[in-house]
Amino acid sequence: MLADLLAQLSLQTLGDTIDAVEIVVIDNDPAHSAQQVLAQWQVPPGFRLIVRHVPEPNIALARNAAVAAASGEWIAFVDDDEVPCTDWLVLLWTCVQKHGADGVCGPVLPVYPPEIPSWIVKGRYFERNRLASGTRITEADARTGNALVRSARLSALPGPFDSAFGRTGGEDSVLFRDMLSRGASFVWCDEAPVHEVVPVDRANMRWLLRRSFRVGQTWIRAELLRMPRRQACLNGARLGMKALGQLFACALLVVLCAPFSRIRAFAWARTGAMQLGKLTGMTRFQYREYAS
């Protein structure tokens, strides 16, 4: 996947406004597994390759190393299992300049291998919200899988990614929350997608329910993270009661929908898993999605 990403980045059309591009690759595997792929890649003209090895498995530490290694005024983020369109950088850059924002995010579009069950495709469980270009967004629609951010906004934060979320996920949501709270603005660019192949081993009920559970956990942790203790306790109690009520409602809706629509019943099951995640997220238990 990394080889495919690097090959596509080589084809980026930079236009007249982008003079040079640094490509920063963080190998977050203790075994340094990206080394061979990087050694074989021919760096194209106008590009510079920077490689850092972060042996401790922690996605926040890896991204912090990337930000620290980058020297540009703007930093674009893309995951190693994604492939951007050929004018991806230019489109993000044009959009952020047009709207005078501190950052821009674009869609991550799933690519379904033929082995993926048809009910997974019909349920659209791997598809995310899309917006009109120029729409102001919050952390709910912002993510580092496809983003361009002003580096000054990142350097103003400690980290800037919170390593406490580096094994559970949710570190990008916390990052955008923190930047927004300091007055940063972000917009959407729907014309600059990246494509992500859906792994076959994730296209099942068990993985999707675990993901929803994890999202619920990291959401509640991020929601209460920066609050004073007393306020966090009060808001936690309120959100916990709300989540408990929604959990029971979801369980009832699963039972009612199951005889008529598997897809609709499973959608409510995922919503219920998210509410359960919110409830357990306020305890010491943390589900580590990135445990290795």
- pLDDT tens readout for residues 51-107: 999 999 899 999 999 999 999 999 999 999 999 999 999 999 999 999 999 999 999
Q: Which two tokens stand for residue 94?
A: 């044009």
Confidence (pLDDT) at 150: 97
Residue 207 has pLDDT above 70, yes or no: yes
With vertex at residue 169, the alpha carbon angle to CA 164 and CA 175, rounded to the nearest 5 degrees, is 70
Residue 203 has pLDDT above 80, yes or no: yes
Q: How far apart are CA 222 and CA 182, in angstroms?
A: 16
Check if the beta carbon of residue 268 is closer than 8 Å to that of residue 254. Answer: yes
Q: What is the pLDDT of residues 235-261, one digit of tens each?
A: 999 999 999 999 999 999 999 999 999
Confidence (pLDDT) at 18: 75
CATH of the domain spanning 2-201: 3.90.550.10
Check if the beta carbon of residue 229 is closer than 8 Å to that of residue 290. Answer: no
Supply the DSSP string of 177-229, one letter for each residue: HHHHHTT--EEE-TT--EEEEPPGGGSSHHHHHHHHHHHHHHHHHHHHHTS-H
Residue 291 has pLDDT above 60, yes or no: no
What percent of the chain is predicted at pLDDT more than 70? Answer: 99
Confidence (pLDDT) at 204: 95
Domain definitions of the chain by residue range: 2-201, 204-281
Q: Is 174 strand, coil or helix?
A: helix
